[in-house]
Structures are given as C-alpha cells and as structure tokens.
A and B are shown apart, each in its own frame.
Chain A
Amino acid sequence: MEAQRVLEYLSEIEEAAEDVLASRQQILDLDKKRNMNREALNALKHEMVSEEKVKVCFGNMFIKLPKAKTRDMIQRDQEQLDKEINSLRLSLKDKLNHLNKLQGKPELTGYNLSPLSSDEVKAINHLLKR
C-alpha cells in the first residue's frame, strides 16, 4: 500500500514537472516563430520594395500572394503569437508554484506581485541609486 502511495505521489510530481517543461518548450517554439515572422516583415519592408507579389512558403508549398495581403497576414499572426506567449508565461508561474508545492519547496517570494508601472520603476531605481 505504502509503495502504491509513493508511486502515485512521484507520478504526480513527474506530471507537474512535465507540464512545466512542456510550457517552456512551447514558449520557445512560439518565440522562434515570432522571430521568423519578424524577419519576414523586415524582408518585406526592405528587400522586397519593388515586387508586387511575393512567394510565401506554406508547409512545403510556395504560393504567390500580393505583398500587402501577406504583410497583414503575418502581422495578425504576430499579434496572436504575442498573446499566446503572454498567457503561457502567466500559466507557467502557477504550474511552477504547483510543482514547488508538491515537492515541499517554499513558494518563491514576491512571485504573485503585479509589476510596478514604468514611472514607478524609474522612481525606485533612482532611490536604489542605479
């Protein structure tokens, strides 16, 4: 019985840890995509100035699309990505706290505070003489 309980406990921890790792990997993948999109936007702006239509790679197929439409598409994608990364980051905190609690580690201090606004940060930095 005791062994069963330990096993259950360990698998719970393992699950929580897996959850944290999966979130982190997802953030990473999304950031990768975000940066690629950003590069594409820059390329559209600087290198493809003269072209009317551009070739866009979807999966393993190139499709010729009007430039303005492509840019809109990528920009919408960027906004979506930003939103997703933010929500993942927020949930990551809860997941990590959950993991810490399961492992009997103390919660990180100041973790649940909301950040100061930039003006307030400036004032505090002035105070700490940095």
Chain B
Amino acid sequence: MAAQMATTKVPEVRDITRIERIGAHSHIRGLGLDDALEPRQVSQGMVGQLASRRAAGLILEMIKDGHIAGRAVLIAGQPGTGKTAIAMGIAQALGPDTPFTAMAGSEIFSLEMSKTEALSQAFRKAIGVRIKEETEIIEGEVVEIQIDRPATGTGAKVGKLTLKTTEMETIYDLGTKMIESLSKERIQAGDVITIDKATGKISKLGRSFTRARDYDAMGAQTQFVQCPEGELQKRKEVVHTVSLHEIDVINSRTQGFLALFSGDTGEIKSEVREQINAKVSEWREEGKAEIIPGVLFIDEVHMLDMECFSFLNRALESDLSPVLIMATNRGITKIRGTNYQSPHGIPIDLLDRLLIITTSPYTEKETRQILKIRCEEEDVELSEEAHTVLTRIGQETSLRYAIQLISTAGLVCRKRRGTEVQVEDIKRVYSLFLDEARSSQYMKEYQDSFLFNETTQPTMDTS
C-alpha cells in the first residue's frame, strides 16, 4: 500500500507568491481585554461593545479552563453590530491549541447529508483529543562513516559510524541494512542525523555549522543546524491534537482504492462514533489522552429548523460536548419550519439553556474608529474630511456599506493617481453604488416598470 502511495503521489506545486486576502473580519486579533478582563476601548481590532466583550471574555476564561462543557451562548444584536467579530475574537484569543469550528446555520442543508449528521460532524470537529507519542532516537552529528566492502564484491558489508554531540562521541557498528539506508539518504560526514531506535529509520536534519565551509558551492536547500547537545540516545515526545471528527473519518472509510480519492466523507455510521467514543474514553482512563472541549460557532442560527434545535438540546447534554456559541440578528420571529413565534427564532426550551450576550449599535465615535482600522487593513489612505464623510455615511446607512465604500473609493483614488482618498472620491462611489435604503427608495419610485411587480406583496419573510 505504501509503495503504491509513493508511486502515485503527484509532485506538489507550490505558489511562490501567496497573496493574503482581506476578509470582513481579518482585522480582529483578539477580544481586546486586559489581564483583569476589562475591555479596552480600542484594542486588537475591536472597538466599543464593552459590555458584550467583557461577557465574552468571561466565557473565554471558562473555555480555557476546560471545565465547562455543554454550555451554550447566544450573541444577539442588530445587523452590523459586531456579533461575528466577537466570535472571531474568541477564536483568535483561544489560540491554535483549542479547536474552533465556525459554520453558518444554512450550511447544514445539503442533499448528501441529513441535517443532524451535519450538526454532529460539526460538534465532533469542535472536540480535540490530545495524545502523546514517544520514541527513542539517536541524534548526533556524523563524524565519520567507514564501510568495508568484501574483496569479492559480494557478501555482507560491515561498517562503523561515529556520531557526536557537543558532550560526547561514540562509534556504532553497522549492519548491511543500516549501510544501505545511510547511502540511500546520502549521509556523509558533517550531517546531523537522527536514527529512530525502534524502526531504524534515518532522517537527515541538515549539515552542521562547523562544516559550513567544506564546499564553496552549495544548493539553496542545504540547511545548516547546530550540533546537537546532551546525550546521544534521547527520548522524543510529541504531543498531537486531533479532533474526534478526524478519527471518525479514517475509521469510517471503506478500505478501497476509491475511498482515498473521494473527498466527501458522507455520513458516518453511529456505530463507528460509538466505537471511537469508547476507545477515547478508554485512553482517557489509561491516562493516554486528554479531551479538549473546543468551541462550535453557528452563525445565523435562526436558519436552523425545529429538528435541529431539538437535536442541539440533546447534543448539549452529552459529556463530550463542546461550548456552543450561536449568533443571530433576528428579533421575535417564526421558528423555521413551524408557525410558532419565538424570540430570536429559537424555541423557548433551548433559549432557557443559553447565556445571552447582546450587542448594541455603534456610536459615531466607534464607527469612526472601525472605519480607520478597516482603512489600515485594506491599505487605503483616507483624508480627514473623507473620513468624516464616511463616518456620516456609516451612521446613516450601515457600517457594512461604509466599509464597502473604502476599497471602491480607494480604487477611484488610484485611478486618478491620487495618494489619499478625498471627499470627491467618496461622493463618486456613493453615487455609483446604492445603499439598501436608497435602493428600496428607487424600487418604490419605479416599481411599475420592473418585471413581476406586485405592489401588494408583503415584505420578505425569511423565517
């Protein structure tokens, strides 16, 4: 199998220049709290929303401690008040070691998978398992390799390998197999190598700095490393964090050639999940694994329907449950799939389990700050007056619209070879692109000339 994998492996093509794209929340670096969990007015890309950020900070601490599982938080607020930003802030502040899974409520509607399957996959992606791997290795710099070939040309080769660290030096006797793998890896004096004691696998870490001047011409890929310190025979411990979902996927794949290439995993049988749960808890009892409850963030949670909500209710009770953070911008509305009205479009029994954080609309000063941060993020320079005008637009229409205008105005400015966006540029894009309010105004005026106009239609109902 391994040989087959090696032969069919396509060489990877790497892009040399990779341009980082700028997303809507790429300026968020954390929650912007100080050590006492007090929010700073402007910090780590976050502006204002002090009360909700402090609340999020408290929850963050609880998640970091890992003591709470199966809790759920709802971030509720009007559109454009930083709900997703707060969730992103939590994700950033958690660091890379705690699993954070973000999804949108509408992602669960797919033809290939049932809704509850999609949800349970998301749940299991948000739970990490920490495990440790331990290997005995011999690590040192090659001082000398000596290989004796039998005079007849055939027969067993024998040899000696001298390895050293900064503290000690020793000679190893080599068998035929080791000699073969040494020559296969092209090991020569001056290389720093590790030998795995259990498998005998040799890997080259690089060339020793003390041998840097052996040759004048060196390939770019020659890497120089320090001569290892300490004892020659070391014990290496590596700690991995894998998510439960990753373990599920491997174990549910049917052993076949096609299975390797199908990207979609499809549904995972519940027996597989139960087996894995059993294995993981066995490991936990033996002290071989730690469970890290992570965070599952569901944006636009009002898009879930009644079935999903009752599934969530049940899933939160499980002891392998992550912290669930949901966000919605709905007020009192219909629960999807029913005719019942409920706050945030979430059933009362689920609401009862939630800690609710609210966000409030930004003030003028805060809007100004956010626009400034976004300008820096998008590399657009704004003149003082233009900034004031844009803030005004942000206040009167919406923050998102104002943020959209930044990059478009930046383009207009570059077109006329200006260095700083002026009020004229803003005016130009403001007249080119309509905001939501002006667009609906336009509709109202000219709706008779549009197709399929029915003046009696009620407003959009997305529930």
Chain A positions within 8 Å of B, measured between CB atoms, are 24, 27-28, 31-32, 34-36, 38-39, 42, 46, 89, 109-110, 112-116, 118, 120-121, 123-124, 126-128
Contacts and interface: CB of A to CB of B under 8 A. Distances in A.
11 contacts: A28-B167, A35-B168, A35-B233, A39-B171, A110-B131, A110-B239, A113-B239, A113-B290, A115-B133, A124-B133, A127-B250
B134 interface: yes
B166 to A, nearest CB: 10
Contact of A128 (B132, B232, B242): B242
Interface residues of B, number: 30
A113 B233 contact: no
Contacts of A124: 131, 133, 240, 242
B239 A28 contact: no
Contact of B198 (A28, A34, A38, A118): A118
Contacts of B231: 27-28, 31-32
Contacts of B107: none
A34 B283 CA distance: 34
Contacts of B133: 115-116, 121, 124
Given A28-B231, A109-B239, A128-B240, A115 B132 contact: yes
Contact of A109 (B97, B232, B242, B289): B97
Interface string B150-173: 000000000000000001101101
Nearest to B250: A127
Contacts, number: 73
A112 B133 CA distance: 12
B261 to A, nearest CB: 14
A113 B289 contact: yes
A22 to B, nearest CB: 14
Nearest to A28: B231
B424 to A, nearest CB: 54
> Interface residues of A: mostly helix, strand, loop or mixed?
helix
A113 B231 CA distance: 24
Contacts of A123: 250
A34 B290 CA distance: 35
Contacts of A121: 133
B168 A110 contact: no
Contacts of A46: 173
Interface in B227-275: 230-233, 235, 237, 239-240, 242, 246-247, 250
B247 A114 contact: no
A42 B132 contact: no
Contacts of A128: 240, 242
Nearest to A127: B250
Contact of B132 (A27, A32, A114): A114
Contact of B232 (A31, A110, A112, A114): A31
A127 B246 contact: yes
Given A113-B132, A124-B242, A28 B173 contact: no
